[in-house]
Amino acid sequence: MLDFKITRTDLNGSARSGQLTTTHGVFNTPIFMPVGTQATVKAMTPQMLGEAGVGIILSNTYHLYLRPGADLIERAGGLHKFMNWPRGILTDSGGFQVFSLKGLRKISDEGVLFHSHIDGSRHFLSPEIVMQIQQKLGADIAMSFDECAPFPCSYEEATQAVRRTSLWAKRCCDYHRRPDQALFGIVQGNVFADLREQSAREIVVLDFPGYAIGGLSVGEPKQDMYRILDLTHHLLPADKPRYLMGVGAPEDLLEGVKRGVDMFDCVLPTRIARHGTAFSHRGKVVVRNATYAEDFTPLDPDCDCQVCKNYSRAYLRHLVKADEMLAHILLSYHNVYFLIKLMQEIREAIEDQKFEQFYNHFYENYNI
């Protein structure tokens, strides 16, 4: 079902490299997982993802439940076959999306009653229903149903979210039965240290095969995110994978690894690509800017992806300004490749006991 082995730990801190074995392959950690919300990573084919070195992608339970439906995907042979992706898939619970609906949903201990953002139809999701959907989708890793409190929120709101997250996690454990699918628990608590400690205690006792840190990167200052990570990773079992949800900026991946995180996901690389922005070893390159109109150098001279080998900033800017689909494709490919390669470089630095040097070198060159 799932096996996790730590292969090396940084001598000077908490960073570690490892191997995560799932039904659809063995993947090196720390790992970045691109987001394929609707069973597709935007502007990228499965073949492109494979060429970029992607091992695991994330898909969304809420969106796939509404369209095309979990039953249809199950009849197609599961999500892997439906989208023609032979490697790993993680499905989130849909909790974040449901709770983001605000005026369109009503939360109780039983679950969430909400109206579809697509057609206004009425639906109800409980921990048991969310487990049923994810088992039909057949991802390698499923997430327990949780309540993600917004930022900012009151201490009372965060306390309520922690209570429900623990209640629902137990119900998810009791209902989940698919033997080839691992179920991860989620720690909530917003930016309140005591609530994070409480949530971690209550989730860890359920003995999940992996643990996610949720409710961060939702608008809080980065120093708050790093502070909570400093606290939380010490509260989670060292022999199980730790997954920081919704984080994908290069500097945040590095800071997360420094604090013992093994898995990350985010829509950021493809989202900023659609707005004409690329990652580079020196910081973001806003390709649409006029300064690149006659710049015939690669996006990132230190990148060996097919985009940087074959296209100039001037050409990519032209595509962006002309609103050509190829701009989204090429920039998305580069950004995903960049993060996958960054994680590879981080792993190698940990394996060589040079993570601290890599960390310092990154910030010497990277302009946030």
* Candidates 10, 146, 262, 265; catalytic one: 265
Query: Does the active-site annotation cover 71?
Result: no
54 vs 37: CA distance, rounded Å = 16
91 vs 134: CA distance, rounded Å = 7
Q: Which residues pair with 21 in a beta bridge?
A: 3, 26
297 vs 312: CA distance, rounded Å = 5
154 vs 139: CA distance, rounded Å = 35
253 vs 81: CA distance, rounded Å = 30
53 vs 265: CA distance, rounded Å = 15
6 vs 120: CA distance, rounded Å = 46
Contact 86, 23 (CB under 8 A): no
Query: Does the active-site annotation cover 302?
Result: no
* Candidates 92, 140, 146, 300; catalytic one: 92
DSSP H helices, the chain, are: 46-51, 61-66, 70-75, 79-83, 95-99, 127-137, 155-175, 193-204, 222-232, 250-258, 268-273, 306-310, 313-321, 325-351, 355-365
Residues noted as catalytic: 92, 265
